[in-house]
Amino acid sequence: MNPTTREWLLGLRDFTAELRDRKPARPPAVDPAASAAERSILGATLATRLAEIDTIRAARCPRQSVALPHPAADPDADPALVLTTSPVGIDAAEQLLASSGDLAAIVGDRLAAVTELEYRLWCIRHPDEGHLLHVNLWNWVKTRVPRQRWGEFAAHPLGPGESYWLHRTGLAGAGRLDRRDCHLWKWNGRHAALLQPFVAESAVSALGGDQPAD
């Protein structure tokens, strides 16, 4: 990791710590069982992504087809890793790294786990538009899918008391490995079950920009 990347990453950590000190997040009113299921989904996906870090790093250099704001600059071959997720996802990341020495060794001191809002605010102040310094991994579950959207998933009808969850995950800044995925789950009040991987959503924002607001 080059000095500019290190400074950017440390700045992000300091910035998010200051935001959280100034306005601590209120604990979400979530059923403990739902929170545990969400944490399990997010932890499993994050473990897979972190195990691929060497492949992601290799894919960044060279990146021939990406229009960079400073063409003479090369992306850092050892980038910062910014996980954008929900508070449950931040907790899942901390638990995963604490329980897996192998993954912790792979990641080292490269990872910052933040909310989408924290990330966006930081990037307004210190933009890295060409992802020269970092890779953004997003990984979160939308646990409150509005009823007006349920028609999109009519192939998977719900039973009484059930609801849809959308697990959104992806990468930006990983060159040819950049991706956006969405997986459809259902929650029945006790367990989460995968209904369909890789569903297409009718309306989503640009790559890397969905905000986990629930």
Question: Do β-strands 134-142 and 80-84 pair in parallel, antiparallel, or remain unpaired?
Answer: parallel
Domains of the chain by residue range: 3-63+70-196
Q: Is the pTM of this model over 0.75?
A: yes
DSSP state of 180: E
On the CB side of 46, how many CA atoms lie within 13 Å of its CA? 35
Please calculate the CA angle 183-186-191 and round it to the nearest 5 degrees: 120
Asked whether the predicted pLDDT for residue 139 surpasses 90, the reply is yes
Assigned token pair, 54: 């060497």
At residue 74 the predicted structure's pLDDT band, cuts being 50, 70 and 90, is confident
Instruction: Give the model's pLDDT for residue 203.
Output: 60
Residues 186, 180: contact at Cβ < 8 Å?
no
Per-residue pLDDT tens digits for 156-196 = 999 999 999 999 999 999 989 999 999 999 999 999 999 99
Instruction: Give the model's pLDDT for residue 66.
Output: 46
Task: Quickly list DSSP for 111-145.
Answer: EEEE-HHHHHHHHHHS--TT-SSEEEEEEEEE---
Q: How many residues does this entry show for the chain?
A: 214
State what percent of residues in the chain have pLDDT above 70: 86
Residues 137, 49: contact at Cβ < 8 Å?
yes
Asked whether the predicted pLDDT for residue 76 surpasses 50, the reply is yes
Helix residue ranges, H only, the chain? 3-22, 32-51, 53-60, 87-99, 101-107, 116-125
